[in-house]
């Protein structure tokens, strides 16, 4: 795995000073910082930077790469995608005296909100299991997350890319999709980026989503537990015992608190399906919340239609109000620290600096977690870790990974700490300029060893057209 983060950093404590935000709350719920694209960067340059780092960090033979998938919800070309990234990297490889990626390489792009990268990863696994032979597959997740100024989503922005190499003899962890769980259900106005429409009197921007915060959280909580239910059923697992047994958990992470909420609720649902000891644990949280366990179990047994909540007078309703009340008590318990916090600890400090990477959020956390585990000397070989991807709209995948022997050598090369550098804190004025795609005054950016947008085409004649097409250059 390899990461790329743009250098322009927004310090969230400073952002709170600019906007009047509550730093104490932001630091607990969201994180400490996030990145923004620079004026000569795009989703494609980030993706190419991550891919080139992957090839160079691991001495990959590019001619063996026969599958290159791009997962993103921030693409700016509705025709081409992964092939743009391949072309950029091929040019850089030739300039570096290396062979280009295989000519017989498939180049699909995957889109389903934040789950597009995980769908790309599953497709890469299937490629290697069918006609991939002894070739290599690469998945790159690249995104930028922007939200309306003044909205609750503004501090949860971010930008970056993660590249993942898949091969028949993995060096980090193995994936068996027969052990994975999946779920999907159309949720209408959960989180969308419509091509047409208006917001606050202005034409909608493709970068700014239309979303409903409480409703989106409900969708996340519901779909995550549905994917886990499928995983339990496919493997014949005892839900609570399984969740306690996994070594570490990595989930889609739009901000720090969201995976804690999603997994905390999933754990309570697992207790409800467990034995007498599990149900007594759940009963203790219910007593602490002053609610009847029988009513909580009845609530958990319902199949709520979230579409009914997608109306203005019900959008703030809680999908599982009693369960959420029990979760508040569970959060304060020693069991929450052991079964939730501790299992989500690997890489968590690094992720507080990354921000929301949409399709790259889960892969970035997984990369950070493995690199952090190697740094700490954590024993992971032969252990199972659980990854849970989520995409608004909405769908989820619960995919277990088996860490292989000797994983430490590959984890050491991920270089998460290096990917966080350089970090250039921007001013309030520079932040606003970067959001608008302008050149900020006083911001010194000196790209080195990465791709930039050289120029954007503007010709629209009959004999030649390149209007809007980006031309890229690799800066040594």
Q: Which residues of 375-414 are buried (b: 16+ CB within 10 A; e: fewer)?
A: eeebebeebbbbbbbbbbbbbbbbbbbbbbeebbebbebb
Instruction: Decide: helix, strand or coil at residue 214.
Output: helix
Band (194; pLDDT cuts 50, 70, 90)? confident
pLDDT on residue 375: 97
Mean pLDDT value across residues 448-465: 96
CA pair distance 375, 23, nearest whole angstrom: 30
Task: pLDDT band for 437, please (50, 70, 90 cuts).
Answer: confident
In percent, how much of the chain has pLDDT > 90?
91
Ranges 79-83, 246-250, 331-335, 436-440: which has the least confidence: 436-440
Rounded to two decimals, what is the model's pTM? 0.97
- Whole-number pLDDT of residue 206: 79
Domain-by-domain residue ranges, the chain?
Answer: 2-475
Alpha-carbon distance of 172 to 401, in angstroms, equals 9
Residue 357 corresponds to which tokens in the numbers above?
Answer: 């990477």
For residues 167-173, average pLDDT:
97
Q: Cα separation of 410 and 380, whole Å?
A: 13
What is the average pLDDT score of the chain?
A: 96
Specify whether the CB–CB gap between 398 and 182 falls below 8 A: yes
Report pLDDT digits (tens) over 337-347. 999 999 999 99
Per-residue pLDDT of 319-365, as tens digits, reads 999 999 999 999 999 999 999 999 999 999 999 999 999 999 999 99
| Closest listed residue to residue 216, CA positions, set 61, 342, 20, 392 | 392
Phi/psi of residue 217, nearest 5 degrees = -65, -40
Q: Are 476 and 95 in contact (CB under 8 A)?
A: yes
Partners of 390 in the beta sheet? 396
Could you tell me if 345 and 58 are in contact, meaning their C-beta atoms sit under 8 angstroms apart? no
| Fold observed for domain 2-475 | Peroxisomal Thiolase; Chain A, domain 1 (3.40.47)
C-alpha to C-alpha distance for 320 and 379, rounded to whole angstroms: 37
Q: CA-CA distance, 50 to 141, in Å (whole number)?
A: 9
pLDDT grade for 199, boundaries at 50, 70 and 90: low
Give SS3 for 461.
coil
């Amino acid at each position: 795995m390899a990461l790329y983060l743009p250098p322009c950093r927004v310090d969230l404590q400073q952002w709170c000073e600019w906007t009047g935000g509550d730093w104490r709350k932001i630091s607990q719920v969201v994180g400490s910082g996030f990145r923004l694209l620079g004026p000569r960067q795009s989703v494609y340059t980030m993706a190419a930077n991550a891919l080139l780092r992957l090839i160079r960090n691991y001495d990959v033979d590019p001619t063996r790469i026969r599958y290159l998938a791009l997962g993103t919800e921030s693409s700016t070309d509705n025709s081409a995608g992964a092939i743009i990234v391949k072309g950029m990297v091929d040019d850089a490889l030739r300039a570096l005296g290396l062979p280009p990626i295989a000519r017989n390489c498939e180049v699909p792009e995957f889109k389903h909100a934040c789950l597009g990268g995980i769908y790309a990863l599953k497709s890469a696994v299937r490629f290697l299991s069918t006609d991939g032979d002894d070739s290599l597959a690469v998945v790159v997740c690249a995104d930028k997350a922007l939200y309306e100024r003044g909205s609750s989503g503004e501090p949860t922005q971010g930008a970056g890319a993660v590249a993942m190499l898949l091969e028949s003899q993995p060096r980090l962890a193995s994936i068996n999709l027969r052990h994975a769980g999946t779920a999907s259900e159309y949720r209408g106005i959960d989180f969308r980026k419509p091509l047409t429409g208006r917001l606050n009197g202005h034409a909608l921007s493709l970068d700014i989503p239309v979303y409903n915060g409480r409703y989106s959280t409900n969708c996340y909580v519901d779909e995550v537990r549905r994917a886990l239910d499928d995983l339990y059923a496919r493997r014949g697992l005892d839900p609570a015992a399984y969740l306690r047994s996994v070594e570490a958990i990595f989930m889609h992470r739009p901000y720090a608190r969201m995976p804690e909420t999603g997994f905390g609720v999933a754990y309570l649902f697992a207790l409800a399906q467990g034995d007498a000891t599990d149900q007594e644990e759940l009963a203790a949280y219910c007593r602490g919340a002053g609610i009847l366990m029988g009513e909580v179990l009845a609530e958990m047994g319902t199949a709520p239609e979230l579409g009914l909540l997608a109306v203005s007078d019900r959008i703030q309703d809680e999908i599982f109000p009693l369960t959420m009340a029990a979760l508040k008590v569970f959060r304060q318990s020693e069991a929450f620290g052991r079964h939730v916090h501790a299992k989500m600890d690997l890489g968590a400090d690094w992720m507080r600096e990354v921000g929301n990477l949409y399709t790259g959020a889960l892969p970035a956390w997984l990369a950070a977690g493995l690199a952090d585990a190697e740094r700490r000397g954590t024993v992971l070989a032969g252990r199972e870790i659980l990854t849970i991807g989520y995409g608004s709209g909405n769908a989820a995948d619960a995919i277990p990974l088996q860490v292989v022997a000797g994983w430490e050598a590959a984890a050491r090369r991920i270089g998460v700490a290096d990917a966080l550098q350089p970090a250039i804190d921007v001013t309030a004025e520079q932040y606003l300029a970067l959001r608008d795609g302008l050149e900020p005054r006083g911001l010194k950016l000196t790209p080195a060893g990465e791709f930039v947008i050289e120029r954007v085409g503007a010709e629209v004649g009959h004999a030649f057209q390149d209007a809007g097409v980006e031309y890229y250059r690799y800066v040594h």
